[in-house]
Amino acid sequence: MMKLWGGRFSTGTAKILDEFNASIPFDKELYIEDIEGSIAHSQMLANQGILSEEEAQKIKEGLLQIKKEIENGEFTWDIADEDIHMAIEKRLIELIGDTGKKLHTARSRNDQVAVDFRRWVLKRNLDLAKKIKELIEVFVNIAKEHKNTLLPGMTHLQHAQPISFAYHMLAYASMFKRDYERFIESYKRNNKNPLGCAALAGTPHNIDRFQTTKALGFDEPTINCLDTVSDRDFALEILFNISMLMMHASRISEELIIWSTSEFGFITLSDEYSTGSSIMPQKKNPDVPELIRGKTGRVYGNLVALLTVMKGLPLAYNKDTQEDKEPVFDSVKNALISIEILKETLKTMSVNADKMYEACKKGHLTATDLADYLVNKGVPFREAHHITGRAVALAESKGVDLSDLSLEELKKIDNRIGDDLDLSLENSMNSRKSYGATAPQRVQEQIEYFEKFLKES
């Protein structure tokens, strides 16, 4: 079949080349951006006297007709059309005749794909940012309920110090807030118009890139056309932002998996968001967090795939770049569903505060408090550490937690220990009042900080 670009060719292309070369099976995803871009372009051409008003109007009507055909499933997709840009242009010419052939004036597929794909990515930056905010809201709501719910804070997955469950949830709120900011910053940085850059060098036609900039909702036109048709930073940024987002999602997922084991029992996942086993009738499996953890690997792969495609490409456009879309479509789709389902899983899980408390009673979580107490009595920290070690050994020998030793027992270990010593878990948490710490009033400040962010951003 003869192509729209077939003038200098004496035969059509081989069938296998059509298949190899085509991006249409996946870049049809860009049809709205392509049609909107073409409408803005033709209107600008008319405003500049390059097309007549009637021609621009005819083109617009044809393009809107094509949009309808695509949305009603009436559009004929043909792999030989190569990509969404050619498919729409070919159909436009079928529909409106020779006027359709004028649309591609002062434009190349290189700036066309750049504008379409960039706008698609920009929108998804905002979609993801919105999803993340909904997730943060869930963490904040859980935190509000659990300011006094004690949880063993861990390092090395070993019991360390008592913290509140609220504090733990707000650690995630902090991570996801940075993710939110990254998507918004990426949007702002990349909201620049590639249209009108043409193949690589700009165009001799008297176009006005500021008009299409305004029509398409960009902040300004890109400054250098050679860069613009080569650049896929905006796509790499969303892939990185998603990788970071999913890395955070996989960390809370891992914790949900651990917390829902019978060994921990800190949470119970709702039936709605758990799955069963085909052979073991008793099983309730955390497939949701496991899949999120798994999909994190996949989105890292997508980032590395596109980084590798772009590595060493000479300026300007190279067909390699066509490989940019599938990884981005895949990562965006998987991130959106992962964050949505993570949110629902968190919302519907139950928190077993008694199990958390029980766990806090293991591992002598208040040992640091005893050392700190002795420091306040003038004991050098190293010595205080040693004395506390002896108290821990005593508790171990009696098979109890340090917080369960009586004052009398403790006083016998060191006579600087007085009646004012309180090694309870609650006192330990409440005393950690430094800025950003786990004491309930500090956690309350953090809740207010995130609520303000949710309201104002």
CB of 5: closest distance to ligand ARG in angstroms? 9
Is 156 catalytic? The answer is: yes
Is 277 catalytic? The answer is: yes
Residues in the interface with ligand ARG (CB under 6 A) total 10
Asked if 316 touches ligand ARG (CB under 6 A), the answer is no
Q: Which stretch binds ligand ARG (CB under 6 A): 105-113, 276-284, 298-306, 353-361?
A: 105-113
Looking at 52, 277, 424, 457, which residue is catalytic?
277
CB of 190: closest distance to ligand ARG in angstroms? 17
**Touching ligand ARG, residues 107-126 (CB under 6 A):** 109-110, 113
8 A C-beta contact, residue 334 and residue 342: no
Rg (CA), the chain: 30
The contact pattern for ligand ARG, residues 24-53, with x = CB under 6 A and - = no contact, is: ---x--------------------------
Nearer to ligand ARG, 118 or 147 (CB): 118
Q: What interhelical angle do 233-259 and 325-348 show, nearest 10?
A: 30
Look up residue 261 and give its two tokens.
């084991």
Residues 161, 402: Cα–Cα separation, whole Å:
12
Q: Which stretch binds ligand ARG (CB under 6 A): 218-226, 256-264, 315-323, 380-388?
A: 315-323
Nearer to ligand ARG, 321 or 352 (CB): 321
Asked if 228 touches ligand ARG (CB under 6 A), the answer is no
Residues β-bridged to residue 152: 162
Nearer to ligand ARG, 30 or 391 (CB): 30
Asked if 322 touches ligand ARG (CB under 6 A), the answer is yes
8 A C-beta contact, residue 286 and residue 260: yes
Look up residue 414 and give its two tokens.
């060191």
Q: Which stretch binds ligand ARG (CB under 6 A): 106-114, 122-130, 346-354, 436-444?
A: 106-114
CB of 19: closest distance to ligand ARG in angstroms? 14
| Buried b / exposed e along 178-190 (16+ C-beta atoms within 10 A) | ebbebbbebbeeb
Asked if 218 touches ligand ARG (CB under 6 A), the answer is no
Asked if 321 touches ligand ARG (CB under 6 A), the answer is yes
Looking at 10, 156, 406, 434, which residue is catalytic?
156
Among residues 139, 172, 317, 329, the one that binds ligand ARG under rule CB under 6 A: 317
CB of 59: closest distance to ligand ARG in angstroms? 20
* CB count in 10 Å sphere of residue 155: 8
Tell me the HSE value of 370 on the side-chain side, using a 13 A CA sphere. Answer: 28
Beta strands in 39-181 (DSSP E): 150-155, 158-164
String of DSSP letters for 362-382: TTTTTHHHHHHHHHHTT--HH
Asked if 230 touches ligand ARG (CB under 6 A), the answer is no
Residues 63, 91: Cα–Cα separation, whole Å:
9
Residues 447, 283: Cα–Cα separation, whole Å:
36
Which residue matches tokens 């305004």? 214
Look up residue 291 and give its two tokens.
């899949």
Look up residue 124 and give its two tokens.
């998804």
Catalytic residues: 156, 277
Contact residues: ligand ARG, CB under 6 A: 23, 27, 83, 109-110, 113, 317, 319, 321-322
